Structure 1
């Protein structure tokens, strides 16, 4: 859930919903790294410890009621065992997200176990609706499969026992996590599936994101209404614990849905940015030319950069005006222009037709802190792109 994207509800993935995030590095969640999956760290956050303690205390009364033979500290042990089963299931949900995301060409940056369950963070542009849908759906399907497995094992249990109770609870919780995450609204996995569906139908990912974001707000209101209204319909008093958790979850979903809508609007604004439109003119000189040759080439072409190329036309770097002006006039004709060149990072050249999130991702991935990168027209240098200018254009939009 890569602004850095907000943490997501139990088992939800978080992907590249904010195209502007690609111009900066996403920080890892704070916590303890306990391993790696799909090349990414697995992080246990401090908030999980809080969640584990709270859920253990919440489930303890249920254990006392359903397993009266368990007494004293055993109640806490059984309740905590259920919490571990629950978060273990969520972790497998995240592993499924991570493996499919990597298989679809994304770079997985972390799997985190958090207060709300967990999230999988990954970067890279989702180019087709089917990619986003596949990454999203495998998480809930993993929980549904686990629910079936635990239910079968429960049915095979010969007698009512603590292990049988844990199997029943694991089956129920996995079914809940899987089905809840399939609700059609961002930031849930079902919202990403809805986003992909609208994208496939309309051809616009922005429309998909905005539609799924608004659907997420409806889901948030539905969660709150379920806790407050349904008890009255059923003729019972609302349970304050259920209302409290539902209110927190609804607030979280509402916030995530709002951020998704905002990300869609940002993507729409950024889509109009092109390398050709943001680039400035360039004058090309060959490697081995003199500083005087470069000065003559750029004379009369205001605001143009001087780009040095190889005999094959490949960009080497751009001439630093300050360094060139520091060369004494008497030495300009004999000083090679290569002496005042700032090299371009390898692979930083930008195609003139590159636009939107693809442009930002390319610049972020290849500029390596450079101030200027070359813009290519049909394989030849046609201009240069000032990275700071790109960042300013993004902020304005």
Structure 2
């Protein structure tokens, strides 16, 4: 189950909640203060301090509004491609859209990714046209011009082919489609994303030097912050790809422990005999129709006095299987993990049933250990 971001729900789009996270307010305040000096430079001495802050805040809201439309575009296309959108969140970095079912088709990932930057480029063109139509210069024309350039920058920068940018998702889908391996696509786009992260900082440092100027500490600080965000996102993508590769190797058949079956009418005395028939196997108990009942706890068996074993029903030492927790030996990868997450009900051990017959048990801890390896 996908965890939801913390924040306040302000509406719903594409069937998903729209969340404003606490970090969004921090981002809005910080950006307003950052842009205020530029606004004062453009309009001084005509505007006072309050007016400068109001104009800077208006630009920040305009910018965040453009990012919001970017995320809405992601959500709407994801919905039309048959995916379930789980949230649209406005965050410190602008926002993100989460949706499920993205692992099956490379084209879906490319289409969902590309529509966001294209939305910003369309907005940039619209702001530019309206700006050109203004008869005189004013605060409004300055905001229109800023809206055009900011949307153009957001759109073009997001098309850079490195994760976690939208262009990285497009690259991931392209490599995935060409090779048939999503993992290869993610790894390729993730490493390109790391190159982009370093490149942002390098450009911020070298560009002024090439022009004979000293780098601005503000520009370098912003570049370092953006580079760190990109590096972290790319690293998470690479780590996720490697985890996905490990998940693909998991199978219920390969991880299951063989089971020796006893009927529910048996006694504890029969447990040792059953275990001796197949060393290393787990003793499991089935009902009259062969349905899985539970597995025998060796510690509980050891606590039954030898003289009472023949009179003690096996049910007394059984750990029940949760209803509906049985898995097929054919389950693999994500399907196996999804089945365990939905059906194990927190149980440590679940039955493996093949063609109606209990053939083994699956220890959830063993699956987790295999995933870590």
**Same-fold status (TM-score > 0.5):** yes
Larger radius of gyration: 2
Shift of 1:276: 0.8
Provide, for residues 20-62 of structure 1, a one-character-per-residue CA deviation record: whole Å limited to 9, x for no partner: xxxxx66544444434444544333333222212211222233
Q: Which residue of 1 aligns with 2:178?
A: 201
- 1:159/1:350 CA distance change after superposition, 3 Å: farther
CA distance in 2, matches of 1:257, 1:46: 24
Contact 1:31-1:44 at 8 Å conserved across structures:
yes
DSSP 3-state at the match of 1:291: coil
Secondary structure, aligned partner of 2:278: coil
Of the candidates 40, 44, 63, which is equivalent to residue 64 of structure 1?
40
Name the residue aligned to 2:109: 132
* Distance in 2 (alpha carbons) for counterparts of 1:102 and 1:145: 21
1:16 paired residue number? none
TM-superposed CA distance for 1:392, in Å, is: 1.8
1:45 corresponds to? 21
**Are the counterparts in 1 of residues 252 and 331 from structure 2 also a CA contact under 8 Å?**
yes
Selected match of 2:326 from 330, 349, 364: 349
Report the CA distance shift for 1:309/1:200 in structure 2 as closer, same or farther (over 3 A).
farther
RMSD: 3.2
Deviations, residues 312-331 of structure 1 (Å, cap 9, x unaligned): x6x55424537985696565
Gaps of at least 5 residues in structure 1 are: 1-24
Which stretches in structure 2 are left out of the alignment for 5+ residues? none
Does structure 2 conserve the Cα–Cα contact (< 8 Å) formed by 1:125 and 1:357? Answer: no
The aligned counterpart of 2:265 is 290
TM-score, normalising length: structure 1: 0.79
How do 1:135-284 and structure 2 match up within 5 A?
A: 135-283=112-260
Q: Deviations over 1:239-267 (max 9, x none)?
A: 33222101211122122222322322232
Higher relative contact order (CA 8 A, sep 6+): 1
Q: Distance in 2 between the 1:307 and 1:155 partners?
A: 80
Q: Does 1:55 align with 2:27?
A: no
Which secondary structure does the structure 2 equivalent of 1:350 belong to? coil
Structure 2 CA distance for aligned equivalents of residues 65 and 202 of structure 1: 52
CA deviations 1:260-302 (Å, max 9, x no partner) are 223222322332221111111234567xx51349857666234
Of 38-47 and 205-214, more deviation after overlay is shown by 38-47
Following the alignment from structure 1 to structure 2, what is the Cα–Cα distance between the partners of residues 337 and 125?
44
Residue 118 to residue 309, structure 1, CA distance change in 2 (3 Å): farther
Decide which of 360, 364, 383 is 2:360's aligned counterpart: 383
Specify the SS of the correspondent of 2:96.
strand
2:274, 2:283 within 8 Å by CA — same for their partners in 1?
Answer: no
Q: Distance in 1 between matches of 2:354 and 2:243?
A: 27
1:301 to 255, 268, 278: 278
How many pairs are equivalent?
Answer: 365
Out of 108-117 and 164-173, give the one that drifted further.
Answer: 108-117
Instruction: Give, in angstroms, the shift of residue 194 of structure 1.
Output: 0.9
Flag the 1:339–1:170 CA change in 2: closer, same or farther, 3 A.
Answer: same
Please say if residues 201 and 224 of structure 2, whose CA atoms lie closer than 8 Å, have aligned partners that are also in contact: yes
1:173 and 1:308, CA in 2 relative to 1: closer, same or farther beyond 3 A? farther
